[in-house]
């Protein structure tokens, strides 16, 4: 502790260089925090744990293929199934096809949907109002705020998968983990598109416990294995990760980028500490003649490197926490809204960021510190002459 004032004074002897070095840590560390948060969000559960008991049944080949609605009753009768509902992706266009107007649009069953997705609560209108209107819609609270919708407003969706234009009435507003979806009575499409009747995109199951979650996928898929419409049953998290996997090995890419950024910080910091140590060869030799031990010199130079990295780390993490609300808001208003619902400030990311800065400080300072401590006193004094 007695050396701390000395370390602090030396740390900002070359203020411009020190400030630039700190900035070279701050900005890359901000990127690491953002990418680490996105990485952990891939495995996070936006439903607060309730999604762990949900299963999704779809056609084995592709989501573009349908399965018969008649499968529902056979699934419902299986032990461990508490409830089954249908969700049909409608797609379509609202206003225009731009990304800013992209949000989830599903044909659903008003009487059952919220029994399966029980983390959602109706905060405007009522489920009964939605169920009573064949053209009614249940919309997320965030969509209501984004578009300024009110109860009774009309929302027009132009179909692409299904050749029909839906004129929907906002009858209920929900609040939940993902508030960017729109749900309407799937019978509306069935009545307008004859070939859609009896066809289902996905069944969503609420299981009664972990044992059922582990058993039901095998049981359901075995039941329909030798039919013209075989199924693939998976947990909600596996289903969501299937969409992420379409982008490639995202986790490997993010990890590689973070590693590359950490190495970049290391090289910049190491260069700074090497220059600082070279400039102070004579000064260190004088300290040695005054009785400073090698381990003291080692700790002093290494302490400067770690402290410099920590200053950048604190500023980088602080900047990330400050900017995080804006980052999440931006993602929630993008086509990635469903994914963004799971994003939060993960303590693990902050701890990892600080660990990276400490490691960078140690690795960047260890070589200059060892060299400074081992350099003979006569060699250092000779450079002064």
pLDDT at residue 300, rounded to an integer = 73
The predicted model scores a pTM of 0.75
- Which long-range contacts does 100-104 make (Cβ < 8 Å, 24+ apart)? 100/333, 102/335, 103/140, 103/143, 103/180, 103/181, 103/182, 103/335, 103/337, 104/178, 104/180, 104/181, 104/182, 104/337, 104/338
Q: At what angle do helices 281-289 and 377-384 cross, to 10 degrees?
A: 130
| Digit-coded pLDDT (tens) for 70-129 | 999 999 999 999 999 999 999 899 999 888 888 999 999 999 999 999 889 999 999 999
The answer to whether residue 220 is domain-embedded is yes
Domain match, 70 and 122 both? yes
Classified as helix, coil or strand, 185 is strand
pLDDT at residue 167, rounded to an integer = 96
At a CB cut-off of 8 Å and minimum separation 6, what does 19 contact?
none
pLDDT at residue 315, rounded to an integer = 92
The answer to whether residue 146 is domain-embedded is yes
pLDDT at residue 174, rounded to an integer = 96
The answer to whether residue 174 is domain-embedded is yes
pLDDT at residue 287, rounded to an integer = 63
The answer to whether residue 244 is domain-embedded is no
Final residue of a domain: which of 169, 199, 229? Answer: 229
Domain match, 287 and 359 both? yes
The answer to whether residue 56 is domain-embedded is no
pLDDT at residue 252, rounded to an integer = 76
pLDDT at residue 155, rounded to an integer = 96
Final residue of a domain: which of 201, 229, 257? Answer: 229
pLDDT at residue 113, rounded to an integer = 95
pLDDT at residue 259, rounded to an integer = 80
Q: Which domain range does residue 168 map to?
A: 61-229
pLDDT at residue 31, rounded to an integer = 86
Those residues of the chain that have pLDDT short of 50 are 1, 385
DSSP-assigned beta bridge partners for residue 255: none
Closest CA to 231 of 241, 244, 213, 219: 219
């Amino acid at each position: 502790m007695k050396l701390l004032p000395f370390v602090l004074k030396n740390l900002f002897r070359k203020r411009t260089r020190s400030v630039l070095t700190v900035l070279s840590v701050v900005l890359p560390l901000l990127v690491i925090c953002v990418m680490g948060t996105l990485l952990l969000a891939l495995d996070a559960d936006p439903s607060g744990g309730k999604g762990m008991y949900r299963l999704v049944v779809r056609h084995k080949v592709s989501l573009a293929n349908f399965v018969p609605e008649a499968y529902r009753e056979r699934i419902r009768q299986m032990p461990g199934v508490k409830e089954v509902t249908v969700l049909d992706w409608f797609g379509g266009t609202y206003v225009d096809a731009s990304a800013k107007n992209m949000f989830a649009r599903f044909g659903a069953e008003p009487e059952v949907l919220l029994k399966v997705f029980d983390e959602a609560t109706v905060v405007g209108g009522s489920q009964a109002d939605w169920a009573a209107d064949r053209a009614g819609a249940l919309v997320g609270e965030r969509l209501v705020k984004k578009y300024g919708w009110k109860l009774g407003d009309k929302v027009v969706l132009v179909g692409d998968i299904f050749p029909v234009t839906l004129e929907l009435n906002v009858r209920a507003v929900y609040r939940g983990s993902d508030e960017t979806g729109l749900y309407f009575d799937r019978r509306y499409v069935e009545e307008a598109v004859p070939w859609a009747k009896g066809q289902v995109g996905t069944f969503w199951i609420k299981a009664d416990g972990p044992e059922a979650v582990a058993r039901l996928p095998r049981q359901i898929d075995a039941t329909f294995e030798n039919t013209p419409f075989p199924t693939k049953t998976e947990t909600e998290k596996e289903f969501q990760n299937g969409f992420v996997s379409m982008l490639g090995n995202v986790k490997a890419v993010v990890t590689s980028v973070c590693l590359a950024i950490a190495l970049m910080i290391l090289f910049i910091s190491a260069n700074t500490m090497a220059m600082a140590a070279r400039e102070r060869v004579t000064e260190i030799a004088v300290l040695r003649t005054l009785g400073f031990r090698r381990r003291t010199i080692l700790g002093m130079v290494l302490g400067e490197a770690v402290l410099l990295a920590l200053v950048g780390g604190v500023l980088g993490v602080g900047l990330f926490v400050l900017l995080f609300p804006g980052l999440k808001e931006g993602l929630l208003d993008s086509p990635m809204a469903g994914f963004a619902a799971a994003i939060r400030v993960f303590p693990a990311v902050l701890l990892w960021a600080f660990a990276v800065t400490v490691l960078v400080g140690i690795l960047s300072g260890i070589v200059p510190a060892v060299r400074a401590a081992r350099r003979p006193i006569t060699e250092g004094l000779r450079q002064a002459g």
